[in-house]
Structures are given as structure tokens and as C-alpha cells.
Amino acid sequence: MARKSGSSSEKTRPLVRSAALSLFARYGFAAVSMRQIAAEVGVQAGALYRYTPDKQSLLFELMQVHMEELLAAWGEVDPKGAPLDRLDSFVRFHIHHHMDRAEAVFISYMELRNLTPANFAVIEGLRAQYEQVLEEILNACGAAAGDRKLTTLAVLAMLTGVNTWYREGGRLDRDAIADSYVGMVRGLISAAA
Amino acid sequence: MARKSGSSSEKTRPLVRSAALSLFARYGFAAVSMRQIAAEVGVQAGALYRYTPDKQSLLFELMQVHMEELLAAWGEVDPKGAPLDRLDSFVRFHIHHHMDRAEAVFISYMELRNLTPANFAVIEGLRAQYEQVLEEILNACGAAAGDRKLTTLAVLAMLTGVNTWYREGGRLDRDAIADSYVGMVRGLISAAA
DNA sequence: GTCTATAGACAGATAGAC
DNA sequence: GTCTATCTGTCTATAGAC
């Protein structure tokens, strides 16, 4: 069963994925052509169809892998202890994980409308699962008598918003940013109306 | 100076703007063709060029008008009183104003990368002005000894995030949502680290 | 597995008739 | 002010050589 280890296929496939990732993030799915992706990989456009049935599948797989990795990564980090500790851990996890995957995060928020309805439903389901993770933590925290769903969405928007301005080497380092957000989230949930 | 009041130009121009607004919001700038816009307006594609020099200008003007209206609208609503009252007013203003202009808000966040560099600079300047409005309010509030810029961005991301899920006729009405956010923002800034 | 070549559709923008 | 017609270029995806 040994596969030929030097086979070009195993080298090209990840190049296609990463070229699509960075080009879609920079210019948008609709504005990027298969020829641009091919040029970034270093092949001709026709060769891409060895690795994806079409452009849509390329987008969908990037988003699906991103969302599944996100859920799996939290599963490994979740301290499963006291609710307020879990909340702090979630905030730090979300910020660091998203900082490390800026392109995939950007695509997953910006390109939802370019998914076919069937593909959209899959991604939306994964997104709902992730929201559910935070909602359950907030329930366990017994946050003030506010609307839990609203609080969940407010916190997630606030945390994900970091990606719109964070750049490596900026004024604040990653840990200092995460610390600040831990504090803000604590204040927010203690007042959630 | 009387202009011919029934002139078709004065009817078509706003139709072009609103057709572009809703189509760009739904499918994205790059995915919408001039022919689609023309069909929505009820003219042929060539006629659009009476109202815009090109597709790029159509996008830019929508975003520019949106940002200038946003700044002007706050200028009219700003109570200019006690800092904490101004903060509450800002939160309510932002949420209601954004709820009423979902398409323009969506475009202004999603299509930044489709602006030419010169146009992008203009929109970014307007956006920075709006951030400055909130930052000054937070300074006046003397929010806890945290990083003010960080707090500003966190609050804005949280407030604008409402647009990703709010739909008219949903479970919570507009005022109830705004009330909740006023409470969450108050908690957040009292803890901002 | 990658190439060249191409099909068939559609893009933005312009010219000139009415 | 809108039309029809068209220029010129691009797109996704496929076929078949190597």
C-alpha cells in the first residue's frame, strides 16, 4: 500500500489550499480566478481540477475545515472546571485561536453568501455549535438575569472583532489583549440585562 | 432655474443607487454585474453610465454617503450632557441607526477591500472619525484604567455585531435589545482592564 | 500530473441611432 | 435619456496530448 512518497500530488494539494486561502482572504472569493490560484501554486489552471471538482468546493472545504478545527481545538483546551474559569479560558482560547488563523477567520465571515445553500447549511450548523459552547458556559456561570442568547452573541462579536484590527507586532501583545478582554467580559456578564 | 420636474433623470438616479445597494448587499460587489443592476432598475446596462462613471464609483458613493450620514446623524442626536448619559445615548443611537440601514452597514464592512486605494483612504478616514466619537465619550466617562482604544473597539464590535443576527419581527424588539446593550456596555466599561 | 488549447458564457464599458 | 449593438477581455471548466 506504500504510496510513492515523492508524488507531486501530495505536495501540490496543500499548496492549492493555502493559495486559495490567502487569495480569497485578500481579494474575496468572487474576485479571485482559478488562474490566479494556479499562478500562485505554480501550475496552469487546468491542473487545479485534479484537486477540487470546482471553485465552490474549494471555498467550502476551507470553511468547513476551519470550523471543525475550531470546535476540536476548544474540546482539547476546555478545562471543564468551575464555570468562571471556563469562561476566562474560552475568552483566551477564542482570541489566540483567531489571531493565529486570520485568513480562515476572515473568509469564514465574509464569504458565507458565496456558498451554495447546501454548503451554507453545513457551515451554519457548525457555527451554531460553537455559539452553543459559549451559551452553555454563560448558563453555568449564572450570569445576571439577562437574555443569555443576546449576551452570547454580544461576547462573540466583541471577541471576533479583535481580528479586524489586530496585527502582529502592534502596540499590545497577544496576552495583554486577551487579559483586557477577560476583564471586559467579566464586567459585561455581571451587568448583562 | 426651474428644473423640469418630471425629468426621468431625477427618478432613475435614486433607483440606480437603491438597486446597487440591495444587490451589492445580497451578492457582493464583485459578484454583481452592471447588467443585473440595470435589470433591477428597468433599463439597459448602457444607460447606467449616465449616472455613474463606472462600477467602482457606484460602490464608493454608497459607502461615503453612509458614513457621512452616520456622523451627521450622531451630531444631531448627541445630548452633549453628562458623559455617562452620552454613552447611553450613543449605544442606543448606534443600534437603532444600524438596524435601519442594514444593507448599507453590511456593504460598508464587507466591501472595503473592493475599493481602490484612494477611495479606501477616504472611507477609512470617516470610520476613524466615528471611532473617535466613542473614544472621546469613554475618556470623558473616565472608564476604569484600561486601554481606551481597546475598549472603544470592543464596544463598537459588540454593537455592530447586532446587525449580523437582528431581523425585524424577531423575539426581542428594538428597544429591548438596545436596553440590554446599554446595560452590557456599562458593565464592560466599569471593568475595562 | 501537468500541459496546451478551447468551448461557451459573460464581464465592463463605449458608440451611435432615436 | 434610453436603446441596440458591439469591442475587448475574462471567466469556469473540459478535452486530449504527453
Contacts of B172 in chain A (CB under 8 A): 147, 150
Q: Which stretch of B117-126, B137-146, B154-163 has the lowest confidence by average pLDDT?
A: B137-146
Those residues whose C-beta lies under 8 Å from the C-beta of residue B35, and which sit 6 or more positions away, are B45
Assign a CATH topology to domain A1-52.
Answer: Arc Repressor Mutant, subunit A (1.10.10)
Instruction: Calculate mean pLDDT across residues B170-180.
Output: 96
> Which residue type occupies A70?
L
Those residues whose C-beta lies under 8 Å from the C-beta of residue A18, and which sit 6 or more positions away, are none
Above 50 in pLDDT, residue A168? yes
Contact A72, A52 (CB under 8 A): no
The pLDDT of residue B10 is 84
Above 50 in pLDDT, residue A4? no
Give tens-digit pLDDT for B29-45.
999 999 999 999 999 99
Q: How many CB pairs under 8 A join A and B?
A: 116
C-alpha A137/C-alpha A147 separation (Å) is: 14
Mean pLDDT of chain B: 94
Above 70 in pLDDT, residue A160? yes
Sign for the pseudo-dihedral over CA of A154, A156, A162, A164? negative
Res. A191 pLDDT band, cuts 50 70 90: confident
Give tens-digit pLDDT for A52-84.
999 999 999 999 999 999 999 999 999 999 999
Contacts of A153 in chain B (CB under 8 A): 161-162, 164-165
Res. A166 pLDDT band, cuts 50 70 90: very high
* CA A100 to centroid of chain Cα atoms: 9
CB within 8 Å: B28 and A26:
no
Contacts of B95 in chain A (CB under 8 A): none
C-alpha A23/C-alpha A66 separation (Å) is: 16
Res. B144 pLDDT band, cuts 50 70 90: low
Q: For residue B25, give the nearest of B101, B100, B103, B98 by alpha carbon.
A: B103
C-alpha cell at A164: 479586524
Higher pLDDT pick, B107 / A192: B107
Q: Which CATH code is given to the segment(s) B7-52?
A: 1.10.10.60
3-state SS of chain B? CCCCCCCHHHHHHHHHHHHHHHHHHHHCHHHCCHHHHHHHHCCCHHHHHHCCCCHHHHHHHHHHHHHHHHHHHHHHHCCCCCHHHHHHHHHHHHHHHHHCCHHHHHHHHHCHHHCCHHHHHHHHHHHHHHHHHHHHHHHHHCCCCCCHHHHHHHHHHHHHHHHHCCCCCCCCCHHHHHHHHHHHHHHHHHHCC
* CA B66 to centroid of chain Cα atoms: 5
Domain boundaries, chain A: 1-52, 55-191
Above 60 in pLDDT, residue A2? no
For domain A55-191, the question of CATH label 1.20.1260.10 is answered with no
Give tens-digit pLDDT for B10-68.
899 999 999 999 999 999 999 999 999 999 999 999 999 999 999 999 999 999 999 99
C-alpha A92/C-alpha A114 separation (Å) is: 30
Q: Min CA distance, A5 vs chain B (Å)?
A: 40
C-alpha B191/C-alpha A156 separation (Å) is: 18
b/e burial code for range A1-21 (CB count within 10 A of at least 16 → b): eeeeeeeeeeebeeebbebbb
C-alpha A104/C-alpha A98 separation (Å) is: 9
Instruction: Give the distance, in angstroms, between residue B37 CA and nucleotide D5 C1'.
Output: 19
Give tens-digit pLDDT for A29-55.
999 999 999 999 999 999 999 999 999
Which positions in strand D are less than 7 Å from the protein's CB atoms?
A: 1-5, 10-16
If you measure CA to CA, which chain B residue comes closest to A162?
Answer: B154
